Amino acid sequence: MKQTLLAPPLSSAVDPSGEQFQKNRRDMLEQLAVVDELLDQAEAGGGEKAMARMRSRNKMPVRERIAAVIDPDSPFLEISALAAYDSDYALGGGMVVGIGVIAGTECVIMANDPTVLGGALTAYSGKKWMRALEIARDNRIPYVSFVESAGADLRVQGGGGSQRRSQTSHFAESGRFFYDLIELSKERVPTVCVVFGSSTAGGAYQPGLSDYNIVVKDQSKVFLAGPPLVKMATGEESDDETLGGAQMHAEISGLGDYFAEDEMDAIRMCREVVSHLNWRKAGPEPSLRPDAPQYDAEELLGLVSRDLRSPVDVRDVIARVVDGSRFEEFKPRYGSTIVCGWASIHGYPVGILGNNGVIYPKAAEKAAHFIQLCNQIDVPLVFLQNITGYMVGKDFEADGIIKKGSQMLNAVTNSTVPHLTVIIGSSYGAGTYGMSGRAFGNRFTFLWPTAKIAVMGPKQIAGVMSQVRRGQAERQGLPFDEEEDRKIVEMVEDAQEKGSLALVATGAISDDGIIDPRDTRTVLGMCLSVVRTKPIRGAEGYGVFRL
């Protein structure tokens, strides 16, 4: 029988019938409806005609391929599903990336969507591909690629100077994909490639650099250059099949290790390959009782206001996510604007840090202490961000906010246990870093629809810029136009507000995706399982702390 964390359940004073709760809930459902509509658009790929063309060739859409390869009734945790939001590219970026269980083994799955630009590599699909490789490397889980790619997107070639630089930069950076793919194999992380269609240039190197290759009869076409380019370069006449068809690669070149009769046969072979990998988790299995929280996950919808200036007690979030709502709080009377403590999620022990306001010196000091303690006992950290930053002002500078804030940043940076971050509200300024933002090497970052990410709040940014303009006018002895300044402030506030929204951030692939708050416990549980494929060891030492 598994142990139970000897901590009391959190109490909660949330009133689901209250007016503010109901408003928050309606606003959250409205935002989730927008996200769901966008997810449907991303699933549509290149559109109805492109999907119909795929099916007319007896080929499955990319998500159907993924659904067929993962174990029945098992979840698929998609990463950056809304990449390229608010851009000229297809929503989703022409690639599907996520984590699924294949033959009992958690794998990263990267799949080109051939209905979007023939699966060509764009700036967005490139970032998603890099993220897929990063997840496989950092968590040591097998990497499975479903390749059907026309190579790099060449449409910017021949444009103006900035376009040419973009193309050159894109080409130079794309080599890193191949480096990382080779490095996975060197680190003994298996790489399995299923070639579902034409894979040209960079698309051809993916099977070329993979451990296991599966090709599909009359579908797979793998070549560095297709027949038109070969003719241009050498004058040689050829066709797709003789130049790089599945049969040629299975029987003559040796690039194809497995020859499939059709797509379902290829998927069967992929599952068989993964089943023989003898893949084992290096980290411990869940050790604590995974009791459901004592509070309904539905109540997570009503906790956070669309107006993030409204306070929310992060303990109410914790109580609806952790096992049995049990939480052993650390230093509850000290530095109260950061809540720290131990809990478990789906049986996995975790340390949790959550924001209950701006970070004061004592709160930063407490957080640094807690992070070190979790590293001493090899416990992963979960950060629940709703932070406007570190406190500023004369008294707080004198109280050492720079030193104490730096201690917290030092602790986060040197921590070697896995970090999982969920941004439920604000994520502003250096507070983002202290709470293990994406730049600080955390394993996964997810957003609630209410998340906003920026250097500072829109009103603060607009206000600072207004003060700068006013100061310039005074120094130059010029009159200050109050009405014009008011218009500029409103314009800046509006622009900054729109730019900080969760959809904008996730469209730029600055995180791993927007999740329904009700799924927070499930998503964190899946991630905690994934990170345990690699040994979990806390830091053996820290950098110098300014005490």
pLDDT per residue as tens digits for the range 430-450 = 889 999 998 888 999 999 999
Strand, helix or coil for residue 232: helix
Domains of the chain by range and CATH? 1-34+285-455+501-538 (3.90.226.10), 44-275 (3.90.226.10), 458-499 (no CATH)
Q: Give, rounded to a whole angstrom, the gap between the first and last alpha carbons of the chain.
A: 44
Per-residue pLDDT band at 235 (split at 50, 70, 90):
low
User: What pLDDT, on a 0 to 100 scale, did the predictor assign at position 332?
Assistant: 96
User: What pLDDT, on a 0 to 100 scale, did the predictor assign at position 160?
Assistant: 41
Q: How far is CA 222 from CA 144, 259, 400, in A?
A: 17, 13, 61
DSSP string of 113-126? -TTTGGG-B-HHHH
Residue 337: pLDDT above 50? Answer: yes
> pLDDT > 90: what percent of the chain?
67
Alpha-carbon distance of 510 to 497, in angstroms, equals 17
Q: Best-predicted range by mean pLDDT among 222-226, 307-311, 320-324, 467-471? A: 320-324
Q: How far is CA 526 from CA 78, 178, 248, in A?
A: 11, 28, 41
Better-predicted residue by pLDDT, 303 or 286: 303
User: What pLDDT, on a 0 to 100 scale, did the predictor assign at position 167?
Assistant: 46
Residue 330: pLDDT above 70? Answer: yes
Better-predicted residue by pLDDT, 183 or 470: 183
Residue 532: pLDDT above 80? Answer: yes
Better-predicted residue by pLDDT, 258 or 499: 258
Q: Starting at the earlier edge strand, list the strands of the sheet with 212-216.
A: 76-79, 95-102, 105-112, 143-147, 191-195, 212-216, 258-260
Residue 296: pLDDT above 90? Answer: yes
Strand, helix or coil for residue 102: strand
Tokens of 236: 């040689």
Residue 414: pLDDT above 80? Answer: yes
Beta-sheet pairing, 191-195 with 105-112: unpaired
Alpha-carbon distance of 462 to 457, in angstroms, equals 9
Q: Token pair 């893949």 is at which residue?
A: 279
Yes or no: say if 247 and 259 are a contact pair by the CB < 8 Å rule: yes
Q: Would you give the distance in Å from CA 472 to the centre of its chain? A: 42
Q: How far is CA 141 from CA 132, 135, 244, 282, in A?
A: 11, 8, 30, 11
pLDDT, tens digit (0-9, with 9 covering 90-100), for 37-50: 999 999 999 999 99
Alpha-carbon distance of 496 to 214, in angstroms, equals 48
Residue 165: pLDDT above 50? Answer: no
Residue 193: pLDDT above 90? Answer: yes
Of 520, 40, 4, 70, the residue nearest 295 (C-alpha): 520
Residue 168: pLDDT above 50? Answer: no
Beta-sheet pairing, 381-387 with 419-428: parallel
Alpha-carbon distance of 88 to 69, in angstroms, equals 31
Q: Token pair 């340390």 is at which residue?
A: 351
Beta-sheet pairing, 419-428 with 452-454: parallel
- The mean pLDDT value for 505-520 works out to 96
- The mean pLDDT value for 124-142 works out to 96
User: What pLDDT, on a 0 to 100 scale, did the predictor assign at position 456?
Assistant: 60
User: Quick one: 368 exposed, middle or buried, by C-beta within 10 A (0-12, 13-18, 19+)?
Assistant: buried
Per-residue pLDDT band at 342 (split at 50, 70, 90):
very high
Tell whether pTM > 0.85: yes
Yes or no: say if 320 and 10 are a contact pair by the CB < 8 Å rule: no
Residue 228: pLDDT above 70? Answer: no
Better-predicted residue by pLDDT, 1 or 261: 261
Which value, to the nearest 10 degrees, does the dihedral of the CA atoms of residues 157, 206, 265, 142 take? Answer: -130
The number of helices, as runs of H, and strands, as runs of E, in the chain is 19, 16
* DSSP run (H or E) holding 111: strand 105-112
User: What pLDDT, on a 0 to 100 scale, did the predictor assign at position 1?
Assistant: 62
Residue 161: pLDDT above 60? Answer: no
Rg (CA), the chain: 26
Residue 73: pLDDT above 60? Answer: yes
Alpha-carbon distance of 75 to 337, in angstroms, equals 36
